[in-house]
Structure 1
Amino acid sequence: MTKSICVFCGARKGNDPAFGQAAIDFGQILAKNEWRLVYGAGDVGLMGAVAEGAQGSGAATFGVIPEHLMQREGGKRDLDQFIITDDMHSRKKLMFINSDAVVLLPGGAGSMDEFFEVLTWAQLKLHSRPIIVANIAGYWQPMLDLIDHIIASGFADPSMTNLFSVAQTVGEIETTLRSALNTATV
């Protein structure tokens, strides 16, 4: 059975070319492993880049976009499955329900919102899907430091860091996913 990987990432490319290259490369990794891309259905920024890498290499694609973002993010309609939702919450829920693992590539506030929601669900034991933070070029280090600060300040248990993995490269993401998908219960 094909595994589906939910990718949270930016609707912008960011200012480091490493981010865009990592998104394209990760899309290609999805195809290589016969994993399906589940993402926000945008045709811009890192969302467009990961879709480009995935589609160009033959990966199945599943995109979900809320109606109000169709113009802003240029909904990518040539996906294998393309769903338009009423709102952002429905988008996140549908993406998560249709995935076996979550990967956080660089992105903005929306990507952090998506990550922290699935992290909170894991903390509440609502799921045990693998969550991987792709710390490409150190992008997520300030967020990872904030999580350490939250723990050090007594607002979360140190076990919270066991709920996600950190990968520094696309190769590490692939290795972590391969291992996690062989042992994860969804």
Structure 2
Amino acid sequence: MKIAIFCGSSSGNDLTFVKATKALGSYLANNGVDLIYGGGKVGLMGTIADSFLASGGKVYGVIPEYLKEREIAHQGLTELKVVADMHERKATMAQMADAFVALPGGAGTLEEIFEAWTWAQLGHHIKPCAFYNTNGFYNPLIEMIKKMSDAGFLKPQHCDMLIKTDNSAELLSLIKSYKAPDRKWK
């Protein structure tokens, strides 16, 4: 199984994020999961890659040429694919991955997981999407998603299809047992 992980190119200002990212990477690698990620060596991106590698896992990075040129690319990966731009990066990662997980991050992290989730709602794929909710990081966003559903802008099954946890074992179990709901437009 290959899981695409979206996360910050920064480590944040709380070491809890780094520790949880290391622990998750180690757990997933030790349970036969391969990592698909953005190919960077910085922030939580570098942390998750290093954690997988240190635990013997395979790590596949996908990075746009302009970020590689800025020397942000991780050089010790199982494989690093260099693509033209962010659009190609996301499409390549989506094709390679069996599931998508957002760790703490910024606007890019949200944009990536929201696109994967939107594609799932539309039936473009039937892969699970998850928020790894370290230290309650995504609680306000989860509340906003519920509010979108309560207000009639999001079907309840599309709200409920998101996996939300801060537990590595539960995350992997829920990904493995995931059943996609009906797509939005039949």
Matched with 1:42 is: 40
Query: Following TM superposition, by how much is the alpha carbon of 1:154 offset from its aligned partner in structure 2, in angstroms?
Result: 1.8
CA contact (8 A) 2:11 2:43 kept: yes
Matched with 2:90 is: 92
Q: 1:105 to 1:73 in 2, by over 3 A?
A: farther
CA contact (8 A) 1:62 1:82 kept: yes
CA RMSD of aligned residues (A): 1.6
Cα shift readout 1:73-100 (whole Å, capped 9, x = no counterpart): 7101221110111110110110111011
For 2:164, which of 166, 169, 174 is the aligned residue?
166
Distance between the aligned counterparts of 1:146 and 1:79, measured in 2? 36
Distance between the aligned counterparts of 2:5 and 2:65, measured in 1? 19
Q: 1:71 to 1:19 in 2, by over 3 A?
A: farther
Query: Following TM superposition, by how much is the alpha carbon of 1:22 offset from its aligned partner in structure 2, in angstroms?
Result: 1.4
Query: Following TM superposition, by how much is the alpha carbon of 1:57 offset from its aligned partner in structure 2, in angstroms?
Result: 0.6
Q: 1:124 to 1:62 in 2, by over 3 A?
A: same
The alignment-based identity, stated in percent, is: 38
Matched with 2:25 is: 27
Q: 1:71 to 1:21 in 2, by over 3 A?
A: farther
Q: 1:163 to 1:73 in 2, by over 3 A?
A: farther
> Does 2:66 correspond to 1:65?
no
Matched with 1:176 is: 174
TM-score, structure 1 length as denominator? 0.90
Letter of the 1:132 counterpart = A
CA contact (8 A) 1:121 1:127 kept: yes
CA contact (8 A) 2:100 2:128 kept: yes
Query: Following TM superposition, by how much is the alpha carbon of 1:169 offset from its aligned partner in structure 2, in angstroms?
Result: 2.6
Query: Following TM superposition, by how much is the alpha carbon of 1:127 offset from its aligned partner in structure 2, in angstroms?
Result: 1.1
Q: Name the SS of the counterpart of 2:63 in structure 1.
A: strand
Structure 1 residue runs without a partner (length 5+): none
Cα shift readout 1:88-135 (whole Å, capped 9, x = no counterpart): 011011011101111111110000000110111111111111111111
Matched with 1:135 is: 133
Count the aligned residue pairs: 180
TM-score, structure 2 length as denominator? 0.90
Structure 2 residue runs without a partner (length 5+): 181-186
Cα shift readout 1:163-186 (whole Å, capped 9, x = no counterpart): 211012333323323434xx77xx
